[in-house]
Amino acid sequence: MVAELLMAVVRGTWHWVDRARRVVWNLVFLALVVAGVAAWLSSGPPALQDKTVLVLDLAGPLVEQFSGSSRDAVLSQLQDGDRQQVRLRDVLGALDAAAQDARIASVLLLLEDLSGGGLQAQREVAAALERFKASGKPVVAWGTGYDQRQYYLAAHANEVYLHPMGSLMIQGYGRLRNYYRDALERVGVSANVVRVGKYKNAAEPYFASGPSKETEESDAALYDALWSLYTQGVEKARHLPAGALASAIAGLPGSLQAVGGDVAQWSVRAKLVDGLKTRDEMRKWLIERGAEDTQHKSFRQVRFQDYLAQVTAQRGTDAVAVVVAEGEIGDGVAPSGRIGGKSTSDLVRKAREDERVKAIVLRVNSPGGSALGSELIRRELELTRAAGKPVVVSMGDVAASGGYWISLAADEVWADPATITGSIGVFGMLPTAERLMDKVSVHAAGAGTTWLTHAYDPRKPLDPRFVALVEASIGRVYADFIAKAAEARKTTPAKIDAVAQGRVWTGAQAQERGLIDRTGSWDDAVRAASTRAKLGDRPRIQWMEREPGRLDRLLGWFKASVLQAFQTDVTSMDTLAWGLMQGGPAAATTRDLHQDLIWLQGVLQQSQPFAAVVHCLCNPQP
């Protein structure tokens, strides 16, 4: 017995010794790898030469802030790269720096991997391209195909080229939503939605079989306004007469049949592109116009991420702090790419307490979410103004519902004409499945101390008294929303209510109705904050972001160096490919279904009996 016990102890001890040995050797190996890579990369990127082409090879959606951690980004790069993202401020920074850099001769746009971003973000990049062109340097776009988002940016190039077998698709704005009422009824589930605002249609797919008249009215007005901004932007950039784009689309399929179904030739005839070139022809053309890189047998170039890393950081003491509020709003701590009532409030407070920060710009790109989380953020901004520091809001693609709520404590609110905002309304949803329980012959029963104990249990019918409580609470949140908006906009609750009711507006429409102060760019909002703080036209920008953990910092370093070093050189342009089915109707339908069910699951998993939600679920699809 004793011998067996001793043997067990020895075996256990050896097991842990062996594990410790392996861990130590793995750490030593990792340290050697890191040291080797660091030595390899210590020389840094090669110095830029004259006549260099800045290559804007944008892959992924345009975002205000990277979502997830460095760990997620590294894993994405190591796998299939589907989660790549393009940070808007990086693109704008690279273009504005290149406009003043004598070594940069031109810009090449490669856009076929750009997969997302709203019209507002596209307009920001287009404006930066126009600023670059104003410096006297050309912009050239090339691709094997352009979708609607990609073409908006390509249209702002001096010259647009397409592969001879390429495609171009511009279809306009709209959205087909999935409606689940009949499916839920069939399985015995009731949505039980309580809402305030006749246009507050975020939960409509769960209690209706199709859009209401109010939804159709609101959506049509929104999409028409966005389409008008899109076509005007393209026609102005391409020097086309007003209505040319609509006429080209209306002429299909006849005009396409006239060129034998050749989309590339049709694009040239419609004056949407300037010519057709293969990859090798494009490479040769760029060499002839610029300078040859004999080592890589291509034109002299630098990727915009590499170029941005070489741009000298701003110096100075006093700064305008920027807090990015992107994604859905929750109550507590949220990761990058989402908004947490606590975590985002902490960033605002940190900026307020920093003596070097003289003003705050809140960059909002959010469809809303938790009313409580929204109020936590709004209150911190209100305290910032009370402390004597100006607050300016800059709205991105979407700043609606809760995204509008957090914008109410500002000295100025700026939006792009294409921003989607408003949606001042509230709803709550109380799904129940008592009929489903009956169908499967499962019955829930038990005791409770008060009528509230089981007042809302998805397995039981709703207690009318509990419904009354929810209605009163939702009504109160809406009244608070209206009151805060009226105070912020210096008007009456009645006037706000008249343009509220859950309806969404474009930035231009919102300005006409007094919901925002000015329309303009991100840069305009920063200048406004700087002027209020008396910092001049070009203040130092201090981005307020959560401190990454040690692992994230290590992986972030790897992402910025090791993975970049192993990337395929863009000089060959061999990695460019056009996925005809990417983002098509089938993919969009599957994505919408997945997102709707995930959202419904989130509602069902709320820890509280119900929650007041200020969310617009507004996402027009091009």
**Active-site residue numbers?**
200, 401
DSSP 477-518: HHHHHHHHHHHHTTS-HHHHHHH-TT-EEEHHHHHHTTSSSE
The Cα–Cα gap between 298 and 300 comes to 7
The 3-state secondary structure of 363-377 reads: EEEECEEEHHHHHHH
- Decide: 354 and 606 in contact? Cβ < 8 Å: no
265: number of Cβ within 10 Å = 17
- Decide: 527 and 225 in contact? Cβ < 8 Å: no
- Decide: 193 and 428 in contact? Cβ < 8 Å: yes
The Cα–Cα gap between 427 and 496 comes to 18
**Residues linked to residue 432 through DSSP beta bridges, in sequence order:** 190
Nearest Cα residue to 416 out of 396, 390, 434, 437:
396
Nearest Cα residue to 348 out of 421, 411, 406:
406
The Cα–Cα gap between 555 and 499 comes to 47
| DSSP at 416 | -
Nearest Cα residue to 306 out of 41, 575, 35:
41
| DSSP at 317 | S
Residue type, 363: R
Q: Collapse the DSSP code of 238 into the 3-class scheme (helix H, G, I; strand E, B; otherwise coil) and give the result.
A: coil
Instruction: For residue 482, give every residue at least 6 positions away whose Cβ sits within 8 Å of its Cβ, in sequence order, or none.
Output: 424, 493, 496, 497, 500
**What phi, psi does 155 have (nearest 5°)?**
-60, -25
CA angle 480, 379, 484 (to 5 degrees): 25
List the structure tokens of 507.
Answer: 């930035």
- Decide: 402 and 614 in contact? Cβ < 8 Å: yes
The Cα–Cα gap between 389 and 235 comes to 42
Angle in degrees, 0-180, between the axes of helices 464-488 and 371-386, rounded to the nearest 10: 30
Burial 539-574 (b: 16+ CB within 10 A, else e): bbbbebebeeeeebebbbebbebbbbeeeeebbebe
- Decide: 354 and 345 in contact? Cβ < 8 Å: no
Q: Which position has the token pair 């002429």?
A: 251
